Structure 1
Amino acid sequence: MRAPRSSQYRRPGCAVRSRSTTGPPCSRPRAIENTCYVAAAAQNGKKYSGLSQVIDPQGIAIAAVGEADGHAVAEISADRLAKIRTQNPSLQNRRYTVTPR
């Protein structure tokens, strides 16, 4: 969960190489439910899957490295973030405390 009023969320990850990887599929829902950019860093190599990427608040990968060594660079737009938070007001439904009814 991201902090209130935050525009980004950093997610370190390390998925062991297999037929299905869990890194990118787990990062997209975090970006959508928190309406923020997610920078998902992952290890690559013979044992791990790599696939580091930057995901926008709608779950779209806007920069990715793949399985090679490298850096993912993406432009983060405050205007796009505000527009998406208007379209998807999920943060307004978030409760920070549990109170009896």
Structure 2
Amino acid sequence: MPALVDEEHLIHLQMSRLCESFPSLFNKPGVRPWNQKIFAQWASGPGATSGSRWAAAFVLGVWNGVSVGRDRWFGKRPYRVPEFDVVQAMGAWDHQHAAAFIAWCSKPFWP
């Protein structure tokens, strides 16, 4: 049992680090410790900018694998996180956000 707990803890740390690679997600609710529902709730609220919302959509896409359509729980009420769109995201992001995305693309992982 401890091995499963350690593995889950490492996965959550990995997700926290991914979030923190995007400047607009640093110290946001649900980032550390990682909690996808709290994070999605924050990303759905008025405090999120277009850049941070796209970063959140990307992170939640990584967390959930390729969740589209009805399997994408974070796009449904009470959440309003859009499905990740790389063209829209790159148009909204500054260099630091784009670099965080490109860094993940060069060494992708899925929990």
TM-score (norm 2): 0.26
Relative CO higher for 1 or 2, CA cutoff 8 Å, sep ≥ 6?
2
Q: Which has the larger radius of gyration?
A: 1
Which protein is richer in strand relative to its size? 1
Greater helix share, 1 or 2? 2
